[in-house]
Structure 1
Amino acid sequence: MASQYFQTMQENFKNNNKSREFQAHSAKVHSVAWSCDGRRLASGSFDKTASVFVLEKDRLVKENNYRGHGDSVDQLCWHPTNPDLFVTASGDKTVRIWDVRTTKCIATVNTKGENINICWSPDGQTIAVGNKDDIVTFIDAKTQRSKAEEQFKFEVNEISWNNDNDMFFLTNGNGCINILSYPELKPIQSINAHPSNCICIKFDPTGRYFAIGSADALVSLWDVDELVCVRCLSRLDWPARTLSFSHDGKMLASASEDHFIDIADVDTGERLWEIQCDSPTFTVAWHPKRPLLAYACDDKDGKYDNNREAGTVKLFGLPNDA
């Protein structure tokens, strides 16, 4: 029997089931992320810029476009507690920290390779960035200088701290989750999570679970304390590329080259909803306070010219009469 939460959310999505598009960039959007207070949404793009929108009651209003990178902005994230700061990782071998109050880059940190993933520690003190050469650089957020660097002998796909800030997780190309102590960066455990490439990782805000998306098209859900897999979601047909937990930890969105986004009930694994898309989806992000999902799709056929979807971000969960 479906829970009351399950029924309530299904009814909510049924009533608000149209995604709305907002023009953000001139080319493909690689990453979307909400500020900690949920007031702003940032996006990073192949067009070498980041954009920031303000969320009004029923729409996104573009606030600023942030220029300075010399290559694609592949991933970005916000400070965990300061809603004015966000950081971008680019293929131009730099990391940039931006302040929305000044609309300027407040720091540029040079790195050794083309950066592809980035995360901010839960305590706000450190930024970790990974590059195509499997080097992870740890940057002091206060001094904006590198304070540690680790070269790994395996393919590093995505990185994340746990919610307690005392462990650092990496997904790798061998189907494993590597766990390091933090700040010591000493190996704690390597878990054989999937038979193929582990692509993405996300921790749930309540601290109960983390999820892994794999090239085997499965999404596995893991108990944080026991480090055991509690269930797998198998509705995708293509490698799971992106994950996001809702603010209450009760929903998990996952997406891939499949032309839909799967929204699952975390406690049962059942499908709550399926968002239909016209092309693959490589970035999703739940709002930190409400059941509102931001996402961006790949450009149809990889073409930017005369493509209505090129450079757009989308919101699912706004009232249909918005």
Structure 2
Amino acid sequence: MAPIVRPRQSLSKEKFSAYFGGLKSTTYHDPGSARGGGGTHNLRSIAWNPLGTLVATGAADRTLRVWNPEKPNARFSTDLKGHTAPIEKVAFNPVKDAELCSVSSDGTVKFWDVRTKNCFNEVRGLGEAFTLAWAPGGDTLIVGNKADTVFVLSPTQNTPISSHQQPRQTNQIAFCWSGSRVFMTTGEGETRILSYPDFEPVLFHDYGGQARTEFKLHGHTSSCLTAELQPTGRYLATGGSDSVIALWDTTDWICQRTITAMVGPVRSMSFTFDGSFIVGGSDEGAGLEICHTETGELVHSFKTASSCPVVSWAPTRYCLAYAELGVLRIIGVDSDRK
């Protein structure tokens, strides 16, 4: 039976808290995780498929699992076996609902058909790989390692298309929606705007005949850890180890506002499907602080028992997946059954 895709409905910031505050959090217990906490199972990555009908999780104990969000019992999930080291990142192909990519710190990237549990392609020898970003068209993707080398891969080739050594610490990469540019966060608190697939600077400071210098987004007082483009493309969000989320206008590249509601380094960020709200994840503090993108106002605080380093909104509705105590939890999966 084909999955049911419900219409998207947006809420104003005035109505959001009343709606979201009435939703419950569902826990997805992986049978391999330790009792009473995550243990070595700690989730490193969460990813929704394009329709929002599946959620993939990658963990430090090499567990790669695909969940049906409507059925939290592990017997309804799919366990994908094959990695021999911690899984650092997982992401579905943005145009193929059942094609999943996983990146392990042993330098192996695997491509899966989650319907058959088949690993249909594998790329090895990429060093301590930890980042992953699909191009919007789904035909290529970028993987980066801790030696600051980024690789362009194809899901149909077992060797990289190209590799590009970066001149400074590179933390995470996000694409623009046309696929022609990437946003690369650095250990110097900056975000670089580079062309794709050749990774050349696209914006410069022009000093009237003097040597041009690369234009970068200077938004953080310490390392810039993550970047996320708003679904509407109006804002680019960057998160840093200074606990700040900066929102940049993508026309003039001016920082329009900063969000300082979080405690600890911003390890992940996610926009709602309509771009109206943003949440950040950190490995310090407790609770999820959801803010209104257009004003920066805190609109809802969701209390949790511990820190939540990984967060991911569903692509079709106000449904939030996050990692807490090493396991997957999702707020709002029961909302359509009320």
Give the TM-score of the pair, scaled to structure 2: 0.86
Q: 2:254 aligns with which of 222, 228, 248?
A: 228
1:259 aligns with 2:286: yes
Return the alpha-carbon distance in structure 2 between the equivalents of residues 162 and 258 of structure 1. 31
Residue 145 of structure 1 aligns to a residue whose secondary structure is coil
Residues 4 and 201 of structure 1: is their aligned pair in 2 closer, same or farther, counting only changes over 3 Å?
closer
- Give the letter for the 1:98 counterpart: W
Instruction: Summarize deviations over 1:252-297 as a string: whole Å, max 9, x none.
Output: 0112112111111111111111121222211111001000000002
Give the C-alpha shift of residue 90 in structure 1.
0.5
Give the C-alpha shift of residue 180 in structure 1.
0.9
Contact 2:27 2:72 in 1 (8 A): no
- Give the letter for the 2:311 counterpart: V
Residue segments in structure 2 that go unaligned for 5+ positions in a row: 1-9, 34-40, 203-214
Give the C-alpha shift of residue 59 in structure 1.
5.0
Return the alpha-carbon distance in structure 1 between the equivalents of residues 154 and 317 of structure 2. 31
Return the alpha-carbon distance in structure 2 between the equivalents of residues 223 and 258 of structure 1. 29
Return the alpha-carbon distance in structure 2 between the equivalents of residues 70 and 182 of structure 1. 31
Instruction: Summarize deviations over 1:43-68 as a string: whole Å, max 9, x none.
Output: 00011121001133x75763211111
Contact 1:31 1:74 in 2 (8 A): yes
- The structure with more radius of gyration: 2
Instruction: Summarize deviations over 1:145-175 as a string: whole Å, max 9, x none.
Output: 3111111121111111111111011100001
Which residues in structure 2 correspond to 1:196-215 (within 5 Å)? 196-215=222-241
Q: 2:15 aligns with which of 8, 12, 28?
A: 8
Q: 1:147 aligns with which of 161, 169, 191?
A: 161
Q: 1:133 aligns with which of 138, 147, 154?
A: 147
Give the TM-score of the pair, scaled to structure 1: 0.90
Aligned residue number for residue 303 of structure 1:
none
Q: 1:238 aligns with which of 232, 242, 264?
A: 264
Q: Let me know the Cα RMSD of the aligned residues.
A: 1.8
Which residues in structure 2 correspond to 1:228-307 (within 5 Å)? 228-256=254-282, 257-297=284-324, 299=325
Give the C-alpha shift of residue 4 in structure 1.
6.6
Higher relative strand content: 1
Aligned residue number for residue 172 of structure 1:
186
Give the C-alpha shift of residue 141 in structure 1.
2.6
Q: Percent identity?
A: 30
- Give the letter for the 1:288 counterpart: P
Contact 1:81 1:124 in 2 (8 A): yes
Contact 1:95 1:111 in 2 (8 A): no
Return the alpha-carbon distance in structure 1 between the equivalents of residues 137 and 155 of structure 2. 10
Return the alpha-carbon distance in structure 2 between the equivalents of residues 237 and 52 of structure 1. 30
Number of residue pairs matched by the alignment: 306
Contact 1:15 1:319 in 2 (8 A): no
- Give the letter for the 1:267 counterpart: E
